[in-house]
Amino acid sequence: MKYIFKTMIIAILISLTFINIEPMAHADQDAKWEKIKESGELRVGLSADYAPFEFEKTVKGKSEYAGIDIDLAKKIAKDNHLKLKIVNMQFDSLLGALKTGKIDVIISGMTSTPERKKEVDFSDSYTKTGNVMLIRKSDKNKFHTLKDFSNKKVAAQKGTEQEKIAQQEIENADISSLNRLPDAILAVKSNKVEGLVIEKPVAEAYVKQNNSLMIANVNFNEEKKDNVIAVPKNSPILLANVNKSIKEVNDQHLISKYMDKASKDMQDDSSFFDKYGAFFIKGLKNTILISMIGVVLGAVLGALIALAKLSKFKLLSWIASIYIEFLRGTPMLVQVFLVFFGTTAVLGLDVSALVCGTIALVINSSAYIAEIFRAGINAVDKGQTEAAQCLGLNYSKTMRYIILPQAIKNILPALGNEFVTLIKESSIVSTIGVGEIMFNAQVVQGISFDPFTPLIIAAIMYFVLTFTLSRGMSLIEGRMKASD
Ligand code: ARG
């Protein structure tokens, strides 16, 4: 008997150590809230491609966020005496950013769903929206019920409820999930898909600005759902404060006021360049900045890595090889996300998207540049080293005075090419919200409701940059040849 009792207790103790006892959240304990209070700043994550909820508008050549969610965010910040910081990124990156602590709340027209509730906590509802199908006006007579879309191509924004609804309600639909809403609109306009599943107020905003589009006369089974604010789990005080502001908003019917303001903000009659020129110029500056830092620091780091790889110390040369192979063998997009989320999740640092993007570019280019250096050095005739050694020069002197000056002639043109590549690749950091050319083109797509023109402008800007650069490089190369 005693024996059984003893084993039972031991068994219970052992199993207890394996059960993950979740720390109970006390209503008066909230580390997240403490942190926010301490910083004096509320970081609100959103995807500003979603008028009338959130979009960017221009005021005297400067961009500003506007929309229902922005007004709501402003109210919450003000009610709690906090400064508001908007962090704009792709919708499907928001949950990750909230969980890793990049942002404090999500206010992005987000729908409350059971799946998401497992990951984050939701506030009370501040509005309800239903879904519609956006189509081309010219197809008006083609679609009468949802069934007419079966086996057809239909678009939805990636990571949204609409993506799921399209899967559930349209039989055999071929769904294109696009990261950004303007891309999805463009897909409809350019006949890539037959329709776009989208929330009603957003569809109405787009229809107002695009007379080739309309809302199809078909109904979804999915009923209207709550739009809510997401906060990290176990942040009871933050949640309570958010709910307090929402209650006021609901009691005073502020959402309809915010909505009226948003509709006004969406209209503006000045010319395309007046309205959006500033975005492209800002983007141009940032693209040049990050690519320059990318090549310059990338070259410094790359040179060290090339020397490490050429070193006689096996271990050093090994590490350098692994570094180079890893960076060349993984997509830049993945590297960008690793730096972006890794800095907070692993290192616990709060680093801006611009800095993260630049770091990712430097690291990525350093691997390619290391190979450029190594090839450049190897291409110098062996006889040169031998001759230098005969003259009694040591390794570092041989490198400095004999090999490197000659290697530079091989290296420079390749470095120029790397610069050109980097300018183009830098567009990838737009995914984490770095305000370079592509990012701003996407912003303009969102505000102007014109998905095409901003892309053309971005393409021209990249081309002018890279073309001038490669012309400049060939001039320099020509000079160098002449000096031989
Ligand atoms: N309400 C939808 C959802 O939560 C879509 C929200 C998309 N928001 C945005 N800012 N793009 O899935």
Model pLDDT for residues 464-479, shown as the tens digit of each residue: 999 999 999 888 888 8
Question: Counting atoms of ligand 1 from 1, which one is nearest the CA of 54?
Answer: 10
Nearest to 225 by CA among 167, 145, 162: 162
C-alpha Rg value of the chain to the nearest Å: 28
Residue 19, pLDDT above cutoff 90: no
CA proximity to 104, closest of 34, 180, 28, 23: 34
CATH fold, domain 272-482, is MetI-like fold (1.10.3720)
Q: Is the pLDDT of residue 315 over 90?
A: yes
Sign of the C-alpha dihedral computed for residues 264, 266, 267 and 272 taken in this order: positive
- In sequence order, which ranges of 43-173 are alpha helices (DSSP H)? 68-79, 94-99, 114-119, 161-169
Give the distance, in angstroms, between the CA of residue 287 and the centroid of all CA atoms in the same chain. Answer: 15
d(CA 418, CA 150): 47
Task: Give me the phi and psi of 219, to 5 degrees please.
Answer: -115, 140
The answer to whether domain 131-223 and domain 272-482 are alike in fold is: no
Mean pLDDT of all residues in the chain?
90
For residue 436, give the nearest of 368, 335, 357, 366 by alpha carbon: 357
C-alpha of residue 216 to centroid of ligand 1, in Å: 20
Question: How is the chain split into domains, by residue range?
Answer: 28-127+227-266, 131-223, 272-482
Listed in sequence order, the residues at least 6 apart from 400 whose beta carbon sits closer than 8 Å to its beta carbon are: none
Indicate which atom in ligand 1 lies nearest the CA of residue 53: 10
Section 313-340 average pLDDT: 96
d(CA 455, CA 95): 28
Q: Is 80 helix (H, G, I), strand (E, B) or coil?
A: coil
Give the nearest ligand 1 atom to 108 CA.
10
| 232 close to 121: Cβ distance less than 8 angstroms | yes
Helical segments of 80-199, H only? 94-99, 114-119, 161-169, 181-189
Locate 351 and state its tokens: 């680093």
Q: Ligand 1 center to residue 413 CA distance, Å?
A: 46
Pairwise pLDDT comparison (352 vs 106), residue with the higher score:
106
Calculated CA dihedral for residues 472, 473, 478, 481, nearest 10 degrees: 150
The better pLDDT of the pair 443, 326 is held by 326
* Å from CA of 424 to ligand 1 middle: 29
pLDDT at 17: 45
Closest Cα partner for 364 from 424, 283, 441, 408? 424
Cα distance between residue 198 and residue 343, in whole Å: 34
User: Which residue's CA lies nearest to atom 5 of ligand 1?
Assistant: 160
Atom of ligand 1 nearest to the CA of 160: 12
429 SS3 class: helix
| Distance in angstroms (rounded) separating the CA atoms of residues 470 and 415 | 11
How far from 392 is each of 380, 388, 389, 398, 400, CA to CA, in Å? 19, 7, 5, 9, 14
Between 481 and 210, residue with greater pLDDT: 210
**Average confidence (pLDDT) over 177-198:** 93
Residue tagged 């990951």 (tokens):
119
Residues with CB under 6 A from ligand 1: 46-47, 49-50, 53-54, 91, 108-111, 157, 160-161, 181, 199
* Superfamily name and number for 131-223: Periplasmic binding protein-like II (3.40.190.10)
Residue 49, phi then psi, degrees to nearest 5: -125, 30
Q: How far apart are the first and last CA of the chain?
A: 97
Tell me the percentage of the chain whose pLDDT exceeds 90.
Answer: 71
Which pair of tokens denotes residue 236?
A: 């009871």
362 vs 371: CA distance, rounded Å: 14
Minimal CA–CA distance to 205: which of 469, 466, 448, 463? 448
> Coil, strand or helix: which one is 21?
coil
CB neighbourhood size of 289 (10 A): 14
Mean pLDDT score, 182-186: 90
Cα separations (Å) of 298 from 359, 366, 375?
9, 4, 16
| Single-letter amino acid code for the residue at 110 | M
User: Whose CA is closest to 303, among 202, 226, 399?
Assistant: 399
The yes/no answer on whether domain 28-127+227-266 falls in CATH 3.40.50.300 is no
Averaged pLDDT, 5-31:
54
- The secondary structure element, H or E, covering residue 298 is helix 272-310
Ligand 1 pocket, mutate which of 157, 167, 185, 226 (most atoms under 8 A from CB): 157
Alpha carbons 447 and 434: distance in angstroms, whole number: 18
What's the 108 CA to ligand 1 centre distance in angstroms? 6
Q: What is the pTM of this model?
A: 0.70
Per-residue pLDDT, 374: 93
Whether the predicted pLDDT of 418 surpasses 90: yes
State yes or no: pLDDT of 25 exceeds 50. Answer: no
CA of 271 to the centre of ligand 1 (A): 30
∠ CA(81), CA(82), CA(86), 5° rounding? 145
Position 16 scores a pLDDT of 43
The answer to whether 413 and 473 are in contact (CB under 8 A) is yes
Which atom of ligand 1 lies at the shortest distance from residue 225's CA?
A: 1
User: What's the confidence (pLDDT) of residue 480?
Assistant: 76
